Structure 1
């Protein structure tokens, strides 16, 4: 791919905080950004050159958008794969590609893909009825987690099954086709953030150690408390995924670290990721700048971490503490420009370099 030049336009599907930070990173490199979103007054739109508000399945609107941009990328993984394909059919270059999006959007397909690539996963079974769930519980056992196959995130669309009795009626409560995953008695959760360019070059960031509360990422710290061997295994897994998908852009894989140091893949995100927000101040190239570099056909930037890191999410009303956070000389505060706070909503984050 011929590299884009400053002044060219990068299209982003989605108007959330990740699109906002991508747009800011693109502007720093001289690009204009056009947002396509179904959300009026989105956080990304307010920092971008222009915005199209439309339906992600409106092929005519997508074709018009494709004519006005030089490459298209995504800021959230649930943009329909059909949308990406429609843009390609209209002549746009799209990264990541529709196949990567489609696999990441279905938890059963995602786990099946990991297994086919030799990447360890929890035991899992597809669930399309209560009978399927009963059979899977008999095979996998409890505790386990029942999840929707599609659209769940940040703890949504999940039912914890602590005992076999908890499975009674659980499929009806889920209300959609699902996947049952066996419980992993892990020591910690980590994520690997990697990037791949159109030329096949790959870059890795240091492994993130993550803590969740209520199914939502609350804290990320670096360096992760793992061995160099564990970090190498995470990189190997990410490399296999990137190359198998002919992937372009930033991709994240979340892992459980078991007591023996082995890694169990939880899920992947074909996009920049919450656990990588620390890279804005904490790495020589942020994950957002890296993603823009990748999709624009530029060389990937250095990923060197410059300090020990603590990154804290600001969830709901926590963002109202901005006066105190802004007064803390050690805090780097990022607020996402969302109009209202509500329980469980990511409103911003704070990074501290040690």
Structure 2
């Protein structure tokens, strides 16, 4: 009797996203092999880890021969390495889609071409261009690196024109390397994200819109389905579909959005599973991680509907005591196995409930036990307003 061969998923990057992809792949009978430059990458605790630099083509050659498909757990993998791999093994999302998401200028240009408005923006390559961009865009504004920025990194907020010198001192050295972009600051009403998945056969699905709250540019909490925005779900879905089809995208991605005067504005696209979709592990019929594995391997996609309502706490820097979460009904703890460090994502917790009223009570209970009332307060306000 022939032994059944298990497919092997290759993941470039060994952080918590690769870790959760490996955990989702195992029940599907899929093995995972991770490549990362760090020997202590946390995905190595749950899947085989090959330690190699992205430019180590000898190591990548061995990696490519061992896997059936390659994907990413972060978007800053060098495009050259992604293209090189794509000549040897299936790579999803395709390097072209990755390249667009790596460049804020290309990304926002694509958004507008697909009918998604964005805040006003200008390219900045010199100190003189910064002055010209400020004259056109106005203040407040945000100067950002076009590449290699995430979680609030590579950004400088200008509150007045006099901040231009400080902004250039902070980021000007990046102008000649990767280019800069100045974006108008948006006094948005809400931050949302739509998580979407597209299969190799073109099947396309989205999870319910997620409401997000950030602190210092890093996600603090997510709530799904986001209450009070039913009319925006269809619009967000169609925009995500247009982007996915334009890019020939395969896998999960997140489209981060602002709500301003009842309309959606495009902020960023993450070409991978996303922090704001972690609630789907317990709160959706099929998680973003399982559906990403399904999509890139050409398996049928799973139901993206929500089981009820969910709220996710992001743990930044260090982990609080798990006990208050573990003793709460339908609450779930995720420790990424990472060393504590300021600003580092080290875990998350998700609290689920059948409806907004019961989720409100459970969140308030957890927040009180953890001493996290300030973190939870904006989420509770939205929940309370939804069932009054």
TM-score (norm 1): 0.95
Match of 1:254 among 249, 253, 256: 256
Counterpart in the other structure of 2:274: 273
Counterpart in the other structure of 2:42: 43
CA distance in 1, matches of 2:166, 2:113: 32
CA distance in 1, matches of 2:58, 2:342: 37
Note the C-alpha offset of 1:183.
1.1
Does 2:147 align with 1:165? no
Counterpart in the other structure of 1:146: 143
CA distance in 1, matches of 2:75, 2:84: 16
Does 2:295 align with 1:294? yes
Counterpart in the other structure of 2:174: 176
Q: Please give the per-residue CA displacement for 1:220-268, whole angstroms capped at 9, x wherever unaligned.
A: 0122134333111111110011001111000110000012x11000000
Counterpart in the other structure of 2:333: 333
Aligned positions of 1:204-219 closer than 5 A: 204-219=206-221
Worse-superposed segment, 207-216 or 172-181: 172-181
CA distance in 1, matches of 2:341, 2:53: 25
List gaps (5 residues or longer) in structure 2.
354-388
Q: Secondary structure at the match of 1:147?
A: strand
CA distance in 2, matches of 1:322, 1:225: 28
- Aligned-residue CA RMSD in angstroms? 1.3
TM-score (norm 2): 0.87
Match of 1:224 among 220, 226, 238: 226
Note the C-alpha offset of 1:83.
1.4
Note the C-alpha offset of 1:6.
6.5
Q: Secondary structure at the match of 1:119?
A: coil
**Pairs aligned (count):** 345
**Is the Cα contact below 8 Å between 1:6 and 1:30 reproduced in 2?**
no
Counterpart in the other structure of 2:286: 285
Counterpart in the other structure of 1:73: 71
List gaps (5 residues or longer) in structure 1.
none
Counterpart in the other structure of 1:117: 114
CA distance in 2, matches of 1:6, 1:183: 52
Counterpart in the other structure of 2:356: none
Q: Please give the per-residue CA displacement for 1:126-164, whole angstroms capped at 9, x wherever unaligned.
A: 111111111000111000011111111111111010111
Does 2:236 align with 1:234? yes
Q: Secondary structure at the match of 1:67?
A: helix
Worse-superposed segment, 324-333 or 8-17: 324-333
